Structure 1
Amino acid sequence: MITFENINTLGHLVIENHQYKHIHYPEMLLRYDSNFIEFKNTPSLAEFKNAENYLRNYHLKNGQKHVKFYFPANEKPAVEILDYMKKTGYAIGFLELYTIQPRQFPSVVDNPDIEIDVVTDKTLETFLELQYQQDLEFGSEFANQKIELHKRNFEEQNILQLIAFYKGNPAGSVDVIVSKETAEIDSLGVDENFQKKGIGSRLQKFVMEKFHDKTIILVADGEDTPREMYRRQNYQNHGFKYHAHKVYEN
């Protein structure tokens, strides 16, 4: 059975107790999804505040201005916790887990203007420049740190980086994290100048064909439009997970 446990977590385990796991990634301190606490059981408000205080102090020592929390899968946080987070400036959202068997993916019309390639030494710089431009909306420091992450991923044996070209122009990309039974679609993105041309579907189709013997998995923001695309493409929903983060001014 596929669960959120099958989704790759980028980060190092700092501490694990009966209540939560603390994940930290000093290689990229600005990446909220790699620096967080994940609750194993639904906390009380007092327990949440204790974890919040612990993580805030830990992050302050590392120059980090945020805290982030994940809650147990398929459980909505208690009302008093939601009220507290809303009153104290947290952004609250939820993720949805999707899976598909490659044969269930819809047929995709072949477009000779679109070319999908595995990133190699020859195309790495092009891939990195595409990523940098897309990540600039989060600030140059984040974009620069992300470049180093992409370089590390390029060396990883279990990560396949794909780049899409539209009429020869770099237009989209995706990372595929491969395990024994699954292939996880991660960071699927298409440059805004080339959207609605079928590039995202072609990237996915490439994954379906290359990993036809695996279950394809991904996580989508429960409040973003891509989730509707995944449903139309025959992906199946396997649950949700709430998360919340807060950014401090100092």
Structure 2
Amino acid sequence: MITFNNIHRIGHHIYENETYHHYHYPEMLARYDSNFLQFKKLPALEEFKEAYSYLHNFHLRKGQKHVKFYLPENEKPDNPLLNYLKDFKFEIGFQELYKIQPAEFPKADPPADIKLELISENNLRTFLLLHYEQDLEFGIDFADQKIDLNRTLFNDPAIEMVLAYWKGEPAGSVTLIHAEHTVEIDHLVVEDKFQRRGIGTQLQAFAMNRNTGKTIILVADGEDTARDMYRKQNYQFIGFKYEIQKID
């Protein structure tokens, strides 16, 4: 059975109690998705307050300016917790988990203007520059640290990175994370000026064509329009997970 436990997690498990797991990633303190608490059960309001105090103080000692929490899969915050989060200006969102068998992905002839390449030492610099320009939105420090993270991922034998070109110009990319029975599509991006040209579809088709015997999985932002595209492409909705964060 596919669950959020099948999703690749970047971060070190450093502590747990009966209420939550704590993940920390000193290699990239500004990456919120790697520095967080994962609740084992839906927390009562007082349990959440205790967890918030713990993580807030921990992150202050590390110079981090955020807190982030994930609720258990397919659990929604109850009204006391939800009202508290709204009163104290926490950001509340949710992720959705999808799966598809490669044979179910719609077939489409690739446009002649799109070319795809696996990342190697020969084109790694192009891939890193493409992501660096996107990551500058979150600050220079974040973008610089993300280069180191992408190099780490590039050297992981379970991970493939794919670069898409439109008429010879770098236009998008995707990261494929291989496990025994699944391949996860992660960080599928297409540059704004190359949107609606089939690049995202071809990056997904690349994953399908190379992994016909595995289940393809991905996580989508529950409030993003991309989730509608995945449903139209025959992905099957599996479940959701609420995320809560606050930035000082």
When the two structures are superposed, what TM-score results if normalisation uses the length of structure 2? 0.99
- The match for 2:243 is 243
RMSD of the alignment, in Å? Answer: 0.6
- The match for 2:154 is 154
- The match for 1:135 is 135
- The match for 1:169 is 169
Structural mapping, 1:1-250, within 5 Å: 1-248=1-248
Give the Å deviation of 1:193: 1.2
Counterpart Cα distance in 1 of 2:20 and 2:63: 22
Give the Å deviation of 1:87: 1.1
Q: Secondary structure at the match of 2:234?
A: coil
Q: Secondary structure at the match of 1:220?
A: strand
Counterpart Cα distance in 1 of 2:41 and 2:14: 18
When the two structures are superposed, what TM-score results if normalisation uses the length of structure 1? 0.98
Q: Deviations over 1:92-145 (max 9, x none)?
A: 000000000000000122211001110010100000000001111111111111
Aligned residues: 248
Q: Deviations over 1:133-161 (max 9, x none)?
A: 11111111111111110011110000100
Q: Structure 2: give runs of 5+ residues left out of the alignment.
A: none
Amino acid at match of 1:159: I
Amino acid at match of 1:104: E
Amino acid at match of 2:124: L
Q: Secondary structure at the match of 2:86?
A: helix
